Amino acid sequence: MTRDSKAPAIIPAADLVPASTSHTRARSDDELIASWLDGMGSDRTRANFAMTADRFMGHLAARGLTIRSATVEDVREIMAELATGKAKSTAVQYAQRVKSLLSYAHRLGFTAFNAGAAIRTKGGAVDRAKRIASETEIALLIRAAPTKRDRLMLEVGYAGGLRVSELIELRWADVVLRSDGRVQLSVTGKGDQLRHVLLPAIVSRSLLASRGEAAADAPLFPSRKGGGPLLSRAVNRMIKAAAKAAGVNPAVSAHWLRHAHASHSLQRGATLAEVKETLGHSNVATTSVYLHAQPDRSSGLVLDEGIFR
């Protein structure tokens, strides 16, 4: 071998996988993670999964390990470390993302076994009843919003049953004025699935009146700094402040508006199918496929208009 020749990289025996069993071009943990993230449905999902992968890989590196050399015990201990100081729901999300990564690695032949398969996540039951505000509480929350923009954002979020991510990503190009004077929103939900949501006339009028000279690609609810879209944490900070001012449950968050929409509209006579379509659920329990591009009814239309006055 000449001095100018490059010596081949030495790969630990634990990291070797027979080429015949591999169904990916990835030859390193970083390349595998990039491949895994490429299959994600949305930018937001990719960002969340990438953040968890980065933290998981940091813990592996601190132990001198790779995805291929980590044992079940290693992964279990790292999951416990990732969960330290986190809410149970956050810890479960971290664990599920790590398990997804390890399952992907094994399914493609990158690893000889799936170190996450034997690890169970403990999600616990979610008591949705505790996350549903009354109509009175929603009305008080809306009236306590610190600015006109914030009040309108709460009205649209509640009337449309929107996730906070859907709310802040709305642009004026997504707003269609129907012949009956109501607004139809084109909402991109989980998995980049599109659905169309009708707003009550009273909320439609307020929304249209707020546009001014905003361009089609401008956000409905711009940040006061630079006019770009708001961040979800900024929305939740605003809601916490409004809740404090209104004297309602301090645990309230943007997602409570969605829960409240579903509960209140069903109580006022909306059908289960209408609520499912409006919220973008693929069935009564889970999320999200687009069902009708031109709905003649929407569960938001039966909500009490007095809430928005």
Distance CA 264, CA 251 (A): 19
Choosing from 99, 196, 276, 281, which is the catalytic residue?
281
281 given a catalytic annotation: yes
Choosing from 68, 163, 196, 264, which is the catalytic residue?
163
163 given a catalytic annotation: yes
Q: Quote the Cα angle for 81-84-85, to 5°.
A: 160
Choosing from 99, 195, 258, 259, which is the catalytic residue?
258
Sheet strand arrangement including 183-188: 175-177, 183-188, 194-198
44 given a catalytic annotation: no
Cα–Cα distances in angstroms (integers) from residue 163 to residues 79, 160, 201, in the given order: 28, 9, 21
290 given a catalytic annotation: yes
Phi, psi (rounded to 5 degrees) for 146: -70, -25
149 given a catalytic annotation: no
Choosing from 55, 131, 205, 290, which is the catalytic residue?
290
Choosing from 59, 190, 261, 276, which is the catalytic residue?
190
DSSP labels, 219-232 = BSSB-TTTT-BPPH
- Does residue 42 contact residue 192 with C-beta atoms inside 8 Å? yes
94 given a catalytic annotation: no
Q: Quote the Cα angle for 303-305-309, to 5°.
A: 140
Quickly tell me which residue has 């199918």 as its tokens: 273
Catalytic residues: 163, 190, 255, 258, 281, 290
